Amino acid sequence: MKFQSIQDAIKQEKGKVAIRGWVYRERKSNQFMFLVVRDSSNIIQCVLKKEKTDDKTWEAADKLLIESSVEVEGTIKEDKRAPTGYEIEISKLNIIHYAEPFPITKDQSVEFLADNRHLWLRSRKMTAILKIRSTVFGAIHEYFRENGFYEYQSPMFQSIQCEGGSTLFEVKYFQEKTYLAQTWQLYAEPAIFALEKIYTIAPSFRAEKSKTSRHLTEYWHAEMEVAWENFDEIIDHGEGLIKHIVKRVLEKNQEDLKILERDTKKLEPTIHKKFPRITYDEALKLLEKQGIKIPWGKDLRTVEEDKLSDLFDTPIAVTHYPKKVKAFYMKEEDKNPKVVRGVDFIAPEHYGEVIGGSERESDEKKIIQRLKEEGENIEEYKFYLDTRKYGSVPHGGFGMGIERVISWICGLDNIKDSIPFPRTPLRFKP
């Protein structure tokens, strides 16, 4: 017989089926053996009846431990008591591999699960998250490709900082040193003169020493850069991208969201409502009404972002931050050079900044001045400054932290569960 997924077998509802997978639960008595089998699609209860089974098969099955791999043929029927409402009565059992006692059992510590991450990936929770993650990556590609963007790649070894020297990972590069990419940006801007609209999905590296539920040292970054578009159009893309991702997950991953016990009603407004766009100054006023007074010029911290997000049920775009809290490449606002055309998208429900972007400064002199203020060696930035010498055009872009978006969509407590093997200040193994 041809194997089918457990989900397809359940859909078939009755008759002969053949499935394969791993023993998820097992319970044995003198007369019956219940094996709950899982594959990537679902789980199903299978029953072996002693009276209908030869001794050899019965004895072989008796030795099965959790996570053993098996092939099962049998007859499926509805059974309200079974975990997914159906049961297969086994007529043929083929044992592919006897698992050793599986180290992961109930109620283990977070640390133990992290040490055994390679095994914990099989849990229903992680499987559901990984499926949603796959949808999110697919949706990002769809959004950009449907909107005329080319996929483009930057190097991961980079000689200069873009997002501040303090979070650079230094690597030995033969006899010299270089850094791991914090962002593709400085290597993306040169390419808009060739391709105009570009995007990427790539890892970014940040040596963030703080242990938080929002920071990884290696995360996946969806970035875009576009020529000719103005600040509002760049923000439109951020909003369009987030809407498209959430829409796709709600279409494709209802079962997974159920496993995660995610209240999907909280995600609906993101698809249907326009995201509020507020300036930094307006944000300060809103915070003041909440009893939080921040002196003008200070960056918004996590607590303040959370307070703001409490006021809305969709992501919000906060714009026009003070120049001195933002990166050197952000464009000064014409009417008010103390602020820049930079934007942070803050997710609802305390998931923080999911997108950071800006229109780019086009004036080479201003960029040089700000780099000098940061103590940078201008020589190293020569290739980047060339972008402002030969047909400079208005342009801009943003970066989206994919794990932050996944954490929010899945309703996770910690960003670590949004990526298969999280890298944090305290852990880079297994």
Which CB, 83 or 425, lies closer to ligand 4AD? Answer: 425
Q: Which stretch binds ligand 4AD (CB under 6 A): 62-70, 274-282, 391-399, 422-430?
A: 391-399
Give CA–CA dist 217/206, Å, rounded. 5
Specify the residue, 135 or 358, whose C-beta has the smaller distance to ligand 4AD. Answer: 358
Q: Closest Cα to residue 129, out of 423, 426, 414?
A: 414
Nearer to ligand 4AD, 315 or 401 (CB): 401
Q: Which of 342, 356, 357, 396 binds Mg ion (CB under 5 A)?
A: 356
| Angle, helix 402-410 to helix 124-146, in steps of 10 degrees | 120
Q: Which stretch binds ligand 4AD (CB under 6 A): 45-53, 103-111, 219-227, 378-386?
A: 219-227
**Rounded to the nearest whole angstrom, what is the least distance from the CB of residue 144 to ligand 4AD in the complex?**
13
Distance CA 410, CA 404 (A): 10
Q: Which residues from 345-364 bind ligand 4AD, rule CB under 6 A?
A: 353-357
Maximum Cα–Cα distance for the chain, whole Å?
87
Alpha helices (H) along 83-230: 110-115, 117-120, 124-146, 185-188, 192-195
Query: In angstroms, what is the minimal distance from the CB of 20 to Mg ion?
Result: 46
331 is an interface residue for ligand 4AD by CB under 6 A: no
Q: Which is nearer to ligand 4AD, 167 or 178 (CB)?
A: 167
Distance of CA 46 to the CA centre of its chain: 35
Residue 189 as a binder of ligand 4AD (CB under 6 A): the answer is no
Contact between 403 and ligand 4AD by CB under 6 A: the answer reads yes
The Cα 269–Cα 319 span in angstroms is 21
Q: How far is the CB of 57 from ligand 4AD (least distance, A)?
A: 50
Give how many residues touch Mg ion by CB under 5 A. 1
Q: Which long-range contacts (CB under 8 A, 24 or more apart) does 258-263 make?
A: 259/124, 259/125, 259/128, 260/125, 260/128, 260/129, 260/410, 260/411, 260/412, 261/411, 262/409, 262/410, 262/411, 263/411
Q: Is 352 in the site for Mg ion (CB under 5 A)?
A: no
Q: Which does 404 bind (CB under 5 to 8 A by kind): ligand 4AD, Mg ion, none?
A: ligand 4AD
Q: How far is CA 334 from CA 248, 338, 361, 363, in A?
A: 38, 10, 11, 12
Which residues of this protein are in contact with ligand 4AD, per CB under 6 A? 162-163, 182-183, 185, 206, 208, 215-216, 219, 221, 223, 353-357, 397-399, 401, 403-404
Which residues of this protein are in contact with Mg ion, per CB under 5 A? 356
